[in-house]
């Protein structure tokens, strides 16, 4: 009796499984037909499967996962999508860094990992395509590789996911004019990071393409200062006005600073000076540093402003001012730099010493040696010695090695006997500066 009961129960279970499989396949069939697919083959035995097609596009729906509780849809084009045979996409399960490709859309880049050639990926993954992929991912687990789209989901989601996958397939199958698609993305994508990425690829890889020139001119009106900056740089003289605008609007500190650096001497002295004041008042520190460097390009006229900045409470600004004073190439920069050597900030002393190496005269040698004579001079000693060597190299008639620091006794400087123009530190601890024949000065 018991074997019979078990047999009946087993048969009932098999019958129930077949009914469930048939119901499942009928739902797949209804979803496929509603999407315009033609059913090619279906099976309800053991592993329920349905195959369908739309023109040359093949679709396979089948069970998967633990005990076949999930459903997988695979869409395969007759050939891998043009340019996509080496592209793969999968969900970001564990954060990996660095990623192979970043589209420039933070939400999308944090959801998927993409591998493959950059051009076709950026060209194909426009805003609509990224949106479709994220909608599919919200309902399933989607992957792309070797020209195939696959999504794994709960069976009830098939009716929602199948039409999205077919639309993705249609978008990937479009003719891929790389330059034109990149230009369209650079000009119209909703994400500034995506626009910038596409523009950079055009600049780097297709600089002579008509689409690149068109994209650059469009980018000059972009809402993003970083994109306007990049476009203006590439356009040269044509982009000069855009660079001025990016520099002076101070919307984005980094972009304004880079625009100032790109303009250089083409940014007039008075405008640079005014921009420095505005940057300081609005705490745009990167732009302030760039302005200090740009002022140095105008030479002696900038010395007074830069000298005042040596006393700024911001030590980093003071360091940049010291370096800029050296870059002016003006002898007028020597006195404020010598004063900076007396400050107790070691970093500023080093910067001043290095700057004196570029603009200093013999008058700077003794202050340099004294500044380097502390208990732990370290980097300052090296900078002072290098500065003295550079000053010596500029002396008319001097030759390498004629100017050097003594081992002891600060302030010992003399002209050596026997060879005209030789300059060295005297052995006498009195620190006297003497000419040939013992004539004191």
- Phi/psi of residue 15, nearest 5 degrees: -65, -40
- Phi/psi of residue 35, nearest 5 degrees: -95, 5
Per-residue pLDDT tens digits for 88-107: 999 987 655 566 789 999 99
Helix (H, G, I), strand (E, B) or coil at 84: coil
Comparing C-alpha atoms, which of 141, 144, 137, 139 is closest to residue 121? 144
pTM score of the predicted model: 0.78
In a domain, 371, yes or no: no
In this structure, of 22-36, 85-99, 166-180, 250-264, the range with the lowest mean pLDDT score is 85-99
pLDDT reported for residue 406: 41
pLDDT reported for residue 82: 59
In a domain, 114, yes or no: yes
Residues 112 and 134: their CA atoms lie apart, in Å, by 9
Q: Would strands 38-43 and 148-154 be described as parallel, antiparallel, or unpaired? A: unpaired
Total residue length of the chain:
441
In this structure, of 227-236, 325-334, 394-403, the range with the lowest mean pLDDT score is 394-403
In a domain, 430, yes or no: no
Helix (H, G, I), strand (E, B) or coil at 421: coil
Number of domains in the chain: 1
Helix (H, G, I), strand (E, B) or coil at 90: strand
Q: Which domain holds residue 159?
A: 2-172
In a domain, 143, yes or no: yes
Side-chain-side CA neighbours of 203 within 13 Å: the count stands at 18
In a domain, 370, yes or no: no
pLDDT reported for residue 269: 97
In a domain, 412, yes or no: no
Residues 193 and 195: their CA atoms lie apart, in Å, by 5
Peptide bond into 393 cis (omega under 30): no
Residue 215 above 80 pLDDT?
A: yes
In a domain, 247, yes or no: no
In a domain, 199, yes or no: no
How many other C-beta atoms are found inside a 10 Å radius of the C-beta of residue 441?
9
Q: Which two tokens stand for residue 369?
A: 């040696």
Round the average pLDDT of the chain to a whole number and report it.
85
């Amino acid at each position: 009796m018991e074997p019979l009961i078990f047999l009946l129960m087993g048969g009932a279970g098999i019958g129930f499984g077949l009914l469930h499989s048939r119901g499942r396949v009928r739902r797949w069939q209804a979803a496929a037909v509603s999407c315009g697919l033609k059913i090619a083959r279906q099976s309800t035995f053991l592993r329920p499967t349905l195959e369908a097609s739309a023109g040359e596009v093949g679709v396979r729906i089948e069970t998967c996962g633990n005990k076949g509780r999930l459903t997988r849809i695979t869409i395969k084009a007759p050939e891998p999508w043009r340019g996509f045979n080496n592209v793969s996409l999968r969900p970001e399960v564990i954060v990996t860094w660095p990623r192979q490709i970043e589209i420039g859309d933070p939400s999308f880049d944090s959801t998927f990992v993409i591998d493959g050639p950059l051009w076709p990926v950026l060209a194909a993954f426009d805003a609509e395509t990224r949106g479709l992929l994220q909608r599919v991912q919200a309902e399933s687990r989607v992957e792309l590789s070797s020209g195939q789209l696959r999504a794994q989901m709960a069976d009830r989601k098939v009716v929602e996911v199948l039409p999205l996958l077919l639309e993705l397939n249609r978008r990937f199958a479009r003719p891929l004019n790389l330059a034109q698609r990149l230009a369209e993305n650079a000009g119209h994508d909703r994400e500034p990071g995506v626009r910038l990425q596409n523009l950079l690829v055009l600049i780097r890889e297709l600089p002579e393409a008509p689409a690149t020139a068109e994209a650059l001119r469009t980018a000059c009106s972009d809402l993003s200062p970083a994109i306007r900056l990049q476009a203006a740089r590439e356009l040269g003289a044509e982009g000069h006005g855009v660079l001025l605008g990016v520099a002076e609007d101070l919307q984005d500190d980094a972009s304004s600073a880079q625009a100032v650096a790109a303009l250089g001497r083409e940014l007039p002295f008075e405008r640079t000076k005014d921009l420095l004041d505005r940057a300081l008042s609005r705490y745009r520190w990167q732009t302030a540093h760039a302005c200090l460097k740009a002022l140095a390009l105008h030479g002696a006229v900038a010395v007074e402003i830069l000298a005042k900045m040596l006393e700024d409470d911001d030590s980093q600004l003071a360091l940049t001012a010291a370096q800029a004073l050296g870059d002016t190439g003006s002898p007028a920069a020597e006195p404020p730099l010598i004063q900076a050597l007396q400050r107790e900030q070691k970093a500023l002393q080093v910067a001043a010493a290095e700057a004196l190496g570029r603009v200093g005269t013999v008058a700077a040698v003794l202050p340099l040696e004294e500044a380097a004579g502390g208990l732990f001079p370290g980097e300052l000693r090296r900078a002072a010695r290098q500065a003295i060597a550079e000053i010596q190299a500029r002396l008319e008639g001097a030759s390498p090695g004629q100017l050097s620091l003594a081992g002891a006794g600060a302030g010992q400087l003399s002209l050596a006997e026997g060879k005209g123009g030789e300059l060295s530190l005297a052995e006498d601890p009195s620190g006297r500066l003497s000419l040939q024949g013992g004539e004191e000065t």
